[in-house]
Amino acid sequence: MHKNRREVVKMLSALGASAVLSQALAQHMHQPMQPMQPAAPANLETLPAKAIPWEGGTCAFCGMPLKTPPPGAWMGRTFAPGFFEQTYSQIALKEPQNGMEAIPFESIACMVNYAWVYGLRDGVGTTFYVTDRGAYNPAKGPAAVSLIPARQAVYLWAEKRGWVVMDAKIAAFKNADAAMTFAHTNPDLGRTRVLDWQTLLDLAPLPEMNLVSLLAKHAGLLK
């Protein structure tokens, strides 16, 4: 069920507390990272992943391009090749909406936050997909994106700012071993933790850039 204005306003008023969610999580990172596997999926509907609108496609939550733009083409900034694509996510739909078979997102956090606002549930007329970062080669860009069901993935949180877009600090992997291998080969990520899909849903709305204004916009509080 779509969050009504009262529910969103209540949540926004509480962001004084929830804005420190990432700090609380960071404090928890002092514990050594332990291998983990996602919980066994429930009997949920699984729809096939849909085609990705790389050319001209934008995130349904934040509006950023899905494909890494040429140098200086977006807000005058330059990004490493394949940077945007590494966290592409989508909600595949059983019934098309606005002519789309899937809702695209540039960030995993954007997908989780969009689902939180609009009351979408994975496996109920939808299937949520994420890019397997462990199988992704930035040098190949969109051609290297491999989508896996979000409920079957694990998620690497790392404290370094800007290692993924929207400062969401989360990327997806097929299992904990793959996530830990990535973390160990990229020690500049700082403290890390492997989380499962249910944890991301429990933490929603997830911290990312412009979170308050984006939530307010999608709730109809801002034009």
What DSSP letter does each residue of 24-89 carry, written as one string?
HHHHHTTSPP----PPPP-S---PPP----TTT-B-TTT--BSSPPPTTTBTTB---TTTTGGG-E
Structure-model confidence comparison of residues 221 and 17, the more confident one: 221
Residue length of the chain = 223
Burial of 30 (0-12, 13-18, 19+ CB in 10 A): exposed
Burial of 168 (0-12, 13-18, 19+ CB in 10 A): buried
- pLDDT value of position 17: 38
pLDDT exceeds 60 at position 9: no
- pLDDT value of position 191: 96
Domain annotation covers residue 109: yes
Total structural domains within the chain: 1
Cβ contact 199:46 at 8 Å: no
| Residue 20: partners with Cβ closer than 8 Å, 6 or more residues away | none
- 65-99 pLDDT, tens digit per residue, is 999 999 999 999 999 999 999 999 999 999 999 99
Domain extent, residue 23, equals 5-218
- pLDDT value of position 42: 61
Domain annotation covers residue 223: no
- 164-220 pLDDT, tens digit per residue, is 999 999 999 999 999 999 999 999 999 999 999 999 999 999 999 999 999 999 999
Confidence of residue 43 (pLDDT cuts 50, 70, 90): confident
- pLDDT value of position 82: 97
- 97-145 pLDDT, tens digit per residue, is 999 999 999 999 999 999 999 999 999 999 999 999 999 999 999 999 9
Domain annotation covers residue 77: yes
- pLDDT value of position 23: 46
In this structure, the number of other CB atoms found within 10 A of the CB of residue 42 comes to 8
Averaged over 142-168, what is the pLDDT? 97
Q: Which DSSP category does 158 fall into? A: E
Confidence of residue 149 (pLDDT cuts 50, 70, 90): very high
